[in-house]
Structure 1
Amino acid sequence: MTTTAPAVNGRDIALAHYAGRALLEGVLARHGATFHQSVTLRAVVVAGESIGRDELVRDVTGSLKTDESVVRGVVEELVAAKLLEQDPAEASRTRLTDAGRELHETTAAEAAEISVRLYAGIPAEDLAIAGRVLALVTGRANAELAGT
Protein backbone atom coordinates (compact mmCIF):
# COMPACT_ATOMS: atom_id res chain seq x y z
CA MET A 1 0.00 0.00 0.00
CA THR A 2 1.41 3.40 -0.95
CA THR A 3 0.47 6.67 0.62
CA THR A 4 0.39 9.93 -1.21
CA ALA A 5 1.25 13.12 0.58
CA PRO A 6 -1.49 15.73 0.39
CA ALA A 7 -1.01 18.61 -1.99
CA VAL A 8 0.53 21.66 -0.37
CA ASN A 9 -1.43 24.89 -0.40
CA GLY A 10 -1.03 28.44 0.87
CA ARG A 11 -2.42 27.57 4.28
CA ASP A 12 0.15 24.80 4.74
CA ILE A 13 2.95 27.15 3.77
CA ALA A 14 1.62 29.85 6.10
CA LEU A 15 1.32 27.43 9.02
CA ALA A 16 4.93 26.31 8.54
CA HIS A 17 6.06 29.93 8.26
CA TYR A 18 4.27 31.05 11.40
CA ALA A 19 5.41 28.03 13.43
CA GLY A 20 9.02 28.69 12.49
CA ARG A 21 8.62 32.41 12.98
CA ALA A 22 7.22 31.86 16.48
CA LEU A 23 10.38 29.94 17.36
CA LEU A 24 12.55 32.70 15.88
CA GLU A 25 10.60 35.39 17.72
CA GLY A 26 11.27 33.53 20.97
CA VAL A 27 15.00 33.76 20.25
CA LEU A 28 14.73 37.43 19.33
CA ALA A 29 12.65 38.30 22.40
CA ARG A 30 15.32 36.82 24.69
CA HIS A 31 17.72 39.32 23.13
CA GLY A 32 15.34 42.29 23.17
CA ALA A 33 14.81 42.35 19.39
CA THR A 34 11.81 42.09 17.10
CA PHE A 35 11.33 40.19 13.86
CA HIS A 36 11.33 43.41 11.83
CA GLN A 37 14.57 44.50 13.50
CA SER A 38 16.15 41.14 12.74
CA VAL A 39 15.19 41.33 9.06
CA THR A 40 16.61 44.86 8.89
CA LEU A 41 19.90 43.91 10.55
CA ARG A 42 20.24 40.93 8.21
CA ALA A 43 19.73 43.19 5.18
CA VAL A 44 22.64 45.34 6.36
CA VAL A 45 24.82 42.26 6.90
CA VAL A 46 24.00 40.89 3.43
CA ALA A 47 24.85 44.30 1.93
CA GLY A 48 28.34 44.11 3.43
CA GLU A 49 27.56 45.83 6.75
CA SER A 50 26.97 49.23 5.13
CA ILE A 51 24.07 50.23 2.90
CA GLY A 52 22.35 53.38 1.71
CA ARG A 53 19.44 54.15 4.00
CA ASP A 54 16.93 54.43 1.15
CA GLU A 55 18.20 51.17 -0.33
CA LEU A 56 17.84 49.50 3.07
CA VAL A 57 14.28 50.74 3.43
CA ARG A 58 13.39 49.49 -0.09
CA ASP A 59 14.98 46.11 0.57
CA VAL A 60 13.22 45.52 3.90
CA THR A 61 9.91 46.94 2.65
CA GLY A 62 10.07 44.46 -0.24
CA SER A 63 10.97 41.57 2.04
CA LEU A 64 8.32 42.24 4.67
CA LYS A 65 5.63 43.55 2.30
CA THR A 66 4.96 46.39 4.68
CA ASP A 67 4.70 50.14 4.44
CA GLU A 68 7.87 52.16 3.99
CA SER A 69 7.07 54.25 7.08
CA VAL A 70 7.09 51.09 9.21
CA VAL A 71 10.58 50.19 8.01
CA ARG A 72 11.87 53.74 8.50
CA GLY A 73 10.59 53.46 12.08
CA VAL A 74 12.44 50.18 12.55
CA VAL A 75 15.66 51.73 11.23
CA GLU A 76 15.24 54.59 13.71
CA GLU A 77 14.67 52.07 16.53
CA LEU A 78 17.90 50.32 15.60
CA VAL A 79 19.80 53.63 15.48
CA ALA A 80 18.37 54.66 18.87
CA ALA A 81 19.41 51.27 20.29
CA LYS A 82 22.91 51.83 18.87
CA LEU A 83 22.68 48.72 16.69
CA LEU A 84 22.93 50.78 13.47
CA GLU A 85 24.67 54.10 12.91
CA GLN A 86 25.40 56.59 10.18
CA ASP A 87 28.42 55.48 8.18
CA PRO A 88 31.13 58.11 8.80
CA ALA A 89 32.58 57.43 5.34
CA GLU A 90 29.30 58.38 3.65
CA ALA A 91 26.49 60.14 5.50
CA SER A 92 23.70 58.67 3.34
CA ARG A 93 24.72 55.15 4.35
CA THR A 94 23.89 53.16 7.47
CA ARG A 95 26.17 50.56 8.98
CA LEU A 96 26.16 48.01 11.76
CA THR A 97 27.67 48.89 15.10
CA ASP A 98 29.65 46.28 17.01
CA ALA A 99 26.55 45.69 19.16
CA GLY A 100 24.40 45.28 16.03
CA ARG A 101 26.84 42.79 14.55
CA GLU A 102 26.96 40.84 17.82
CA LEU A 103 23.15 40.76 18.10
CA HIS A 104 22.81 39.55 14.51
CA GLU A 105 25.50 36.88 14.91
CA THR A 106 24.06 35.61 18.19
CA THR A 107 20.45 35.42 17.03
CA ALA A 108 21.43 33.97 13.64
CA ALA A 109 23.42 31.22 15.36
CA GLU A 110 20.51 30.37 17.65
CA ALA A 111 18.10 30.41 14.69
CA ALA A 112 20.43 28.12 12.75
CA GLU A 113 20.28 25.58 15.60
CA ILE A 114 16.49 25.63 15.37
CA SER A 115 16.64 25.17 11.60
CA VAL A 116 18.88 22.14 11.99
CA ARG A 117 16.27 20.53 14.25
CA LEU A 118 13.33 21.47 12.02
CA TYR A 119 14.91 20.20 8.79
CA ALA A 120 16.60 17.12 10.29
CA GLY A 121 15.91 13.96 8.34
CA ILE A 122 14.28 15.65 5.36
CA PRO A 123 15.97 14.36 2.20
CA ALA A 124 18.04 16.93 0.31
CA GLU A 125 16.03 16.28 -2.87
CA ASP A 126 12.78 17.09 -1.05
CA LEU A 127 14.28 20.32 0.28
CA ALA A 128 15.48 21.23 -3.23
CA ILE A 129 11.99 20.65 -4.65
CA ALA A 130 10.40 22.67 -1.86
CA GLY A 131 12.90 25.47 -2.48
CA ARG A 132 12.07 25.58 -6.18
CA VAL A 133 8.32 25.57 -5.54
CA LEU A 134 8.54 28.31 -2.92
CA ALA A 135 10.75 30.45 -5.18
CA LEU A 136 8.20 30.07 -7.98
CA VAL A 137 5.26 30.95 -5.72
CA THR A 138 7.15 33.93 -4.27
CA GLY A 139 8.03 35.18 -7.75
CA ARG A 140 4.44 34.91 -8.90
CA ALA A 141 3.12 36.68 -5.81
CA ASN A 142 5.69 39.46 -6.16
CA ALA A 143 4.73 39.88 -9.82
CA GLU A 144 1.07 40.22 -8.86
CA LEU A 145 1.92 42.73 -6.16
CA ALA A 146 3.89 44.73 -8.72
CA GLY A 147 0.92 44.63 -11.06
CA THR A 148 2.65 42.70 -13.86
Structure 2
Amino acid sequence: MTTTTPPVNGQVIGLAHYASRALLEVALARAGCNFNQSVALRAVSDNGGTVERSWLVGRLTGALKIEEAAARETVAGMTALKLLEETGAEQVSLTERGRELFEEIRTAGNEIAARLYAGVPAEDLAVAGRVLTLVTERADAELAEV
Protein backbone atom coordinates (compact mmCIF):
# COMPACT_ATOMS: atom_id res chain seq x y z
CA MET A 1 0.00 0.00 0.00
CA THR A 2 1.40 3.35 -0.97
CA THR A 3 0.49 6.72 0.37
CA THR A 4 0.75 9.98 -1.45
CA THR A 5 1.81 13.24 0.07
CA PRO A 6 -1.01 15.76 -0.01
CA PRO A 7 -0.32 18.81 -2.22
CA VAL A 8 -0.63 21.03 0.85
CA ASN A 9 0.75 19.98 4.20
CA GLY A 10 2.51 21.50 7.19
CA GLN A 11 5.84 21.60 5.39
CA VAL A 12 4.46 23.49 2.38
CA ILE A 13 2.58 25.90 4.63
CA GLY A 14 5.62 26.35 6.87
CA LEU A 15 7.94 27.08 3.97
CA ALA A 16 5.55 29.73 2.64
CA HIS A 17 5.26 31.23 6.12
CA TYR A 18 9.01 31.39 6.71
CA ALA A 19 9.74 32.80 3.26
CA SER A 20 7.19 35.59 3.60
CA ARG A 21 8.11 36.22 7.23
CA ALA A 22 11.77 36.63 6.23
CA LEU A 23 10.71 39.47 3.93
CA LEU A 24 8.65 41.00 6.73
CA GLU A 25 11.58 40.67 9.16
CA VAL A 26 13.71 42.80 6.80
CA ALA A 27 11.05 45.53 6.87
CA LEU A 28 10.67 45.22 10.65
CA ALA A 29 14.43 45.53 11.18
CA ARG A 30 14.48 48.70 9.08
CA ALA A 31 11.70 50.09 11.27
CA GLY A 32 13.48 49.09 14.50
CA CYS A 33 10.86 46.52 15.49
CA ASN A 34 10.78 42.78 16.04
CA PHE A 35 8.08 40.30 15.07
CA ASN A 36 6.57 39.90 18.54
CA GLN A 37 6.31 43.67 18.87
CA SER A 38 4.61 43.91 15.48
CA VAL A 39 2.01 41.35 16.54
CA ALA A 40 1.39 43.30 19.75
CA LEU A 41 1.07 46.59 17.88
CA ARG A 42 -1.50 45.07 15.52
CA ALA A 43 -3.46 43.54 18.38
CA VAL A 44 -3.69 46.83 20.26
CA SER A 45 -4.45 48.83 17.11
CA ASP A 46 -7.13 46.38 15.96
CA ASN A 47 -8.83 46.74 19.36
CA GLY A 48 -9.14 50.51 19.47
CA GLY A 49 -5.67 51.45 20.69
CA THR A 50 -6.17 50.53 24.37
CA VAL A 51 -6.37 47.03 25.84
CA GLU A 52 -5.96 45.27 29.15
CA ARG A 53 -2.37 44.19 29.68
CA SER A 54 -3.49 40.64 30.56
CA TRP A 55 -5.51 40.44 27.35
CA LEU A 56 -2.47 41.50 25.30
CA VAL A 57 -0.25 38.96 27.06
CA GLY A 58 -2.85 36.27 26.35
CA ARG A 59 -3.10 37.34 22.72
CA LEU A 60 0.68 37.07 22.29
CA THR A 61 0.93 33.67 23.98
CA GLY A 62 -1.97 32.33 21.93
CA ALA A 63 -1.02 33.79 18.57
CA LEU A 64 2.74 33.27 18.77
CA LYS A 65 2.74 30.09 20.88
CA ILE A 66 5.22 31.65 23.31
CA GLU A 67 5.51 31.41 27.08
CA GLU A 68 3.70 33.97 29.21
CA ALA A 69 7.02 35.31 30.52
CA ALA A 70 8.15 36.09 26.96
CA ALA A 71 4.86 37.83 26.23
CA ARG A 72 5.12 39.91 29.40
CA GLU A 73 8.70 40.79 28.46
CA THR A 74 7.54 41.93 25.02
CA VAL A 75 4.89 44.22 26.55
CA ALA A 76 7.30 45.58 29.16
CA GLY A 77 9.91 46.25 26.48
CA MET A 78 7.38 48.09 24.36
CA THR A 79 6.47 50.26 27.33
CA ALA A 80 10.15 50.99 27.92
CA LEU A 81 10.53 51.93 24.25
CA LYS A 82 7.50 54.21 24.57
CA LEU A 83 5.49 52.29 21.97
CA LEU A 84 2.90 51.53 24.64
CA GLU A 85 2.01 53.46 27.78
CA GLU A 86 0.21 52.55 30.97
CA THR A 87 -3.19 54.25 30.80
CA GLY A 88 -5.13 52.59 33.58
CA ALA A 89 -4.81 50.13 36.40
CA GLU A 90 -4.19 47.25 34.02
CA GLN A 91 -4.41 48.91 30.61
CA VAL A 92 -1.89 49.82 27.96
CA SER A 93 -2.39 52.14 25.00
CA LEU A 94 -0.52 52.88 21.83
CA THR A 95 1.59 56.00 22.04
CA GLU A 96 1.89 58.32 19.07
CA ARG A 97 5.22 56.61 18.27
CA GLY A 98 3.52 53.21 18.55
CA ARG A 99 0.80 54.29 16.12
CA GLU A 100 3.37 55.65 13.66
CA LEU A 101 5.45 52.47 13.87
CA PHE A 102 2.39 50.28 13.37
CA GLU A 103 1.37 52.25 10.28
CA GLU A 104 4.90 51.95 8.90
CA ILE A 105 5.05 48.18 9.35
CA ARG A 106 1.45 47.66 8.22
CA THR A 107 2.21 49.50 4.99
CA ALA A 108 5.36 47.43 4.47
CA GLY A 109 3.47 44.21 5.18
CA ASN A 110 0.70 45.16 2.76
CA GLU A 111 3.26 45.90 0.05
CA ILE A 112 4.94 42.53 0.60
CA ALA A 113 1.59 40.72 0.48
CA ALA A 114 0.60 42.57 -2.70
CA ARG A 115 3.78 41.40 -4.41
CA LEU A 116 3.56 37.81 -3.17
CA TYR A 117 -0.13 37.30 -3.94
CA ALA A 118 -0.15 39.20 -7.23
CA GLY A 119 -1.91 37.22 -9.93
CA VAL A 120 -3.39 34.63 -7.59
CA PRO A 121 -7.14 34.45 -8.27
CA ALA A 122 -9.34 35.85 -5.50
CA GLU A 123 -11.26 32.56 -5.32
CA ASP A 124 -8.04 30.64 -4.65
CA LEU A 125 -7.05 33.08 -1.93
CA ALA A 126 -10.48 32.74 -0.34
CA VAL A 127 -10.23 28.94 -0.32
CA ALA A 128 -6.69 29.05 1.07
CA GLY A 129 -7.83 31.43 3.81
CA ARG A 130 -10.69 29.15 4.83
CA VAL A 131 -8.50 26.03 4.82
CA LEU A 132 -5.70 27.65 6.81
CA THR A 133 -8.17 29.05 9.33
CA LEU A 134 -9.62 25.57 9.82
CA VAL A 135 -6.17 23.99 10.18
CA THR A 136 -5.22 26.65 12.75
CA GLU A 137 -8.42 26.05 14.74
CA ARG A 138 -7.80 22.29 14.77
CA ALA A 139 -4.17 22.67 15.80
CA ASP A 140 -5.11 25.13 18.57
CA ALA A 141 -7.77 22.70 19.82
CA GLU A 142 -5.21 19.88 19.98
CA LEU A 143 -2.69 22.12 21.73
CA ALA A 144 -5.32 23.01 24.34
CA GLU A 145 -5.54 19.31 25.19
CA VAL A 146 -1.77 18.88 25.64
Which range, TM-score by smaller chain? over 0.9
The counterpart of 1:121, out of the listed 119, 124, 127, is 119
Alignment partner, residue 146 of structure 1: 144
In the alignment, the residues of structure 1 paired with residue 45 and residue 131 of structure 2 have an alpha-carbon distance, to the nearest angstrom, of: 27
User: Number of residue pairs matched?
Assistant: 141
Deviation sequence 1:33-65 (CA, Å, 0-9, x none): 100010011111111100000011001110001
CA apart distance, 1:110: 1.1
In the alignment, the residues of structure 2 paired with residue 103 and residue 91 of structure 1 have an alpha-carbon distance, to the nearest angstrom, of: 25
Runs of 4+ in structure 1 off by over 3 angstroms are none
Q: What is the root-mean-square deviation in Å for CA atoms of aligned residues?
A: 1.1
SS in 2 for 1:29: helix
In the alignment, the residues of structure 1 paired with residue 91 and residue 129 of structure 2 have an alpha-carbon distance, to the nearest angstrom, of: 33
Alignment partner, residue 49 of structure 2: 49
Deviation sequence 1:116-142 (CA, Å, 0-9, x none): 000000001110110111011001000
Aligned-residue sequence identity (percent) comes to: 55
Structure 2 letter corresponding to 1:43: A
Deviation sequence 1:75-109 (CA, Å, 0-9, x none): 0110010000001xx22100000000000001100
In the alignment, the residues of structure 2 paired with residue 74 and residue 102 of structure 1 have an alpha-carbon distance, to the nearest angstrom, of: 18
In the alignment, the residues of structure 2 paired with residue 85 and residue 91 of structure 1 have an alpha-carbon distance, to the nearest angstrom, of: 11
Alignment partner, residue 35 of structure 2: 35
Matched, 1:75 2:75: yes
The counterpart of 1:92, out of the listed 62, 82, 90, is 90
In the superposition, the TM-score normalised over structure 2's length comes to: 0.94
SS in 2 for 1:7: coil
In the alignment, the residues of structure 2 paired with residue 30 and residue 55 of structure 1 have an alpha-carbon distance, to the nearest angstrom, of: 28
Matched, 1:112 2:115: no
